[in-house]
Amino acid sequence: MYHTIVTLKKGEGRTLKAGGMWVYHNEIDTIMGAFENGDIVTVQDFDGYFMGYGFINIKSKITVRILSRKKEAVIDEAFMERRVRAAWEYRKQTIDVGSCRLIFGEADFLPGIVIDKFADVLVVESLALGIDRWKNTIVDALKRVLDEDGVAIRGVYERSDAKVRLQEGMERHKGFIGESFDTRVEIVENGVHYIVDVEDGQKTGFFLDQKNNRAAIHRFCKGKEVLDCFTHTGSFALNAGMAGAKSVLGVDASQLAVNQATENAILNHLEDRVTFQCADVFELLPALEEAKRSFDVVILDPPAFTKSRGSVKNAVKGYREINLRGLKLVRNGGFLVTCSCSHFMEPELFAKTIKEAAAGAHKRLRQVEFRTQACDHPILWAADQSYYLKFYIFQVVNEP
């Protein structure tokens, strides 16, 4: 047993008891024993019932992140390697591991750390103080486990530069773990080639969570005119092009992203049909409508409009606006592809918002598909934060 004891208030810890992995500061009655932030502690209920072991950090509202519920567990290098091995075995059984998310925090029972694999490069994002202490141990274990299957890793880059680290009392950081290497990495996904900038790209460099969803649009795009909004480095646009679209326009507010997307189009010999424009989508969509433009397929893949419950109302307005504007540009019988990557935009609320947008645009929607994130970003039931991506494909028809 770890000697620092965190005792919950009576009636608290409901999320933890339901299978969750977080203990919030306002659920704690007492903390007995000496500790440093980042140490492993024992969590017990108000009556002394053992609840689990986890990392403590009193600077964070998430004061304890649970690692194990087994009383006999010992948190050491062997423990971390077992967690890593289980995560790798799961990926091998469920998804193409050429490029994928290898570790997805709480969903892989390693709270606060994300590790993506881009071809032969690993990118690490450490978001919690406790797991940060074990970061190199986890990376070393992962390299060993992959090597056993003949998967060689030539370099590791850390992208622990998210603002959330500040809430843990940690500085933002990025840089090489080990030897330096070329941080522009070529990957292949769904037959599409990309140059991923792991040093300066968004998040870890590329959004792997839409892998299966990008493949799902192929059958709707052949011979079609496609508009891809918030294109980032062109992933949906390029998939539409590879599927045989007649023309694709990708739009993003970042000139850097547009430059990378254009480079990716050339890499795939699609530059004659897939083009990119730097523009604010909220300004461009009304301008396209005014210009009487229309498309067979409109794709809306925006960044998270809300990262907290307090800003959900404003996010709803944003999602409603882009979906209304996007729907007005879809030709009768065409398709709308729309999604939200915000955990706080709950599925029912997102569906309601799309419904309101359709009513405002005087369009009828036939749901073709509803999907979530790729299975290398597993949704761990009871760990609600692991479920965040909502993805719809609709056929759009005019009011009869």
What are residue 123's DSSP bridge partners?
116, 157
Cα–Cα separations (whole angstroms), residue 69 to 1, 82, 133, 194: 12, 15, 20, 41
What are residue 396's DSSP bridge partners?
334, 365
What are residue 184's DSSP bridge partners?
197
- Strand 225-229 and strand 295-300: the pairing is parallel
The upper half-sphere exposure of residue 301, i.e. CA atoms within 13 Å in the direction of its Cβ, equals 27
The upper half-sphere exposure of residue 385, i.e. CA atoms within 13 Å in the direction of its Cβ, equals 16
Q: How far apart are the C-alpha atoms of 338 and 282, rounded to whole Å?
A: 15
Does residue 90 contact residue 380 with C-beta atoms inside 8 Å?
A: no
Q: How far apart are the C-alpha atoms of 57 and 148, rounded to whole Å?
A: 35
Q: How far apart are the first and last CA of the chain?
A: 68
Q: How far apart are the C-alpha atoms of 218 and 236, rounded to whole Å?
A: 10
Task: Find the angle CA(365)-CA(368)-CA(372) to the nearest 5 degrees.
Answer: 110
Does residue 388 contact residue 371 with C-beta atoms inside 8 Å?
A: no
Give me the active site residues, please. Answer: 341
Q: How far apart are the C-alpha atoms of 271 and 237, rounded to whole Å?
A: 11
Report residue 165 as tokens. Answer: 């680290």
Task: Find the angle CA(137)-CA(143)-CA(149) to the nearest 5 degrees.
Answer: 140
